[in-house]
Structure 1
């Protein structure tokens, strides 16, 4: 299975994760923007994810709600800043319990030979402290699990 690559750039207050998926770019784009498909891979498997809002247009709002087995709720939201199907998607990202700590995520969907796609996801923070906090939160393992789940979903959707 493909692995994620993480590069941290403290001078730019950002990190970039990338991974190659064995699926065509249009399908990877769809799985990343379709409210029916997103809950099947976004976030860890021990949480139930619901798309509360996904207004896929520049200025549109997205919001995801995750619930654990004890009923604890974790919500995330943002605003779409750039949408260029199927190659580029940019949005703000905020974990609601930590309101005000808003980052910007930009995903580039690079078409590769053999029907493969590379996602390059760059997250930029307003402060170095926000970047360090995210890195210490365990986000990398969560991202790896999410992208593992995306790979599995792409295999089933492709079949």
Structure 2
């Protein structure tokens, strides 16, 4: 896997002008920035890592000293985030998704402000294409800024963020299944503390619940018991539960080491529900180990059990 800035990065001024007067006497600066990455993940997986709020929260911060807090995050609708650095004013970013063509292209605008003062506006276009066993991502940023340092900041931020994204996508596992049941029924089966343990887990596995509270900020502490009686301690911590998605963290046993950040989304269409289950493993080694013991197949068995539980298998 390679991760490099496109050598053809372009900083052409719009309409042939480096600067243009703005209302109130300000100066506008225009630039077009292009970035390209080769990613060791299928296009469908890269798309999920790019658009799923739970995944975006993992790779969005350009440096360890930066914290990104999503106040609103919903692909297909406006989202708002705060970029926080100790000792500096928060930077607010409002993002609106203008076009989402699954696994092909996304277009969004970004409005950046600090202290209630606008700093920049940008149009961000991301193009996705298969490349060998992986994929290629090309991002074009058309930037209009009111602050002198915004072009350099955008260049640095996108460069670092896309480096993070390539690593996240390469250790992301995505499972999908269309279930012939309304979204409400699928949601209730997933969020009811009585029904979730009945179907969760691969074929032949059962769940023994120790503690369960299915809400934002809640948790599920349980043992998965294999067909041969082997006990696998689990702990899920829920960060967000809403009718179109759930975000949670997987731990190895109660308060144990983090195994993965996960999300599930529910998309209804004509009485069926497309369930997408994504997991970003903590390390590339854990991702490879999970693939090696058949996590994809076992995960599909779990979704199959959900379908059968709903009478839609």
Q: Structures share a fold, TM > 0.5?
A: yes
Structure 1 residue 90 corresponds to structure 2 residue 279: no
Task: Write the distance in 2 (CA, Å) between the matches of 1:102 and 1:70.
Answer: 23
Greater relative CO (CA pairs within 8 A, separation 6+)? 1
Counterpart contact for 1:47–1:68, Cα < 8 Å: yes
Counterpart contact for 1:101–1:130, Cα < 8 Å: no
Structure 1 residue 121 corresponds to structure 2 residue 277: yes
- Give the Å deviation of 1:36: 1.5
Partner of residue 103, structure 1: 260
RMSD, matched Cα: 2.1
**Superposed counterparts of 1:14-33, under 5 Å:** 14-33=172-191
Partner of residue 149, structure 1: 305
Number of positions where the alignment pairs a residue of Structure 1 with one of Structure 2:
147
Counterpart contact for 1:16–1:120, Cα < 8 Å: yes
Higher strand share: 2
The structure-2 alpha-carbon separation of the partners of 1:69 and 1:103, relative to structure 1 and needing over 3 Å to count, comes to closer
Which string of whole-angstrom CA distances, capped at 9 and with x for unpartnered residues, describes residues 78-105 of structure 1? 2111111x111000012339x4242111
Counterpart contact for 1:24–1:117, Cα < 8 Å: yes
Counterpart contact for 1:38–1:51, Cα < 8 Å: no
Q: Secondary structure at the match of 2:297?
A: helix
Task: Write the distance in 2 (CA, Å) between the matches of 1:125 and 1:40.
Answer: 25
Partner of residue 217, structure 2: 59
- Give the Å deviation of 1:116: 0.5
Residue 112 of structure 1 is aligned with which of 262, 269, 274? 269
Q: Secondary structure at the match of 1:102?
A: strand
* Gaps in structure 2 of 5+ consecutive residues: 1-43, 47-165
- Using the size of structure 2 for normalisation, the TM-score is 0.43
**Superposed counterparts of 1:60-75, under 5 Å:** 60-68=218-226, 71-75=229-233
The structure-2 alpha-carbon separation of the partners of 1:120 and 1:71, relative to structure 1 and needing over 3 Å to count, comes to closer
The structure-2 alpha-carbon separation of the partners of 1:70 and 1:127, relative to structure 1 and needing over 3 Å to count, comes to closer
- Using the size of structure 1 for normalisation, the TM-score is 0.81
Which string of whole-angstrom CA distances, capped at 9 and with x for unpartnered residues, describes residues 82-133 of structure 1? 111x111000012339x424211111111111x1001111111222112112
Higher helix share: 1
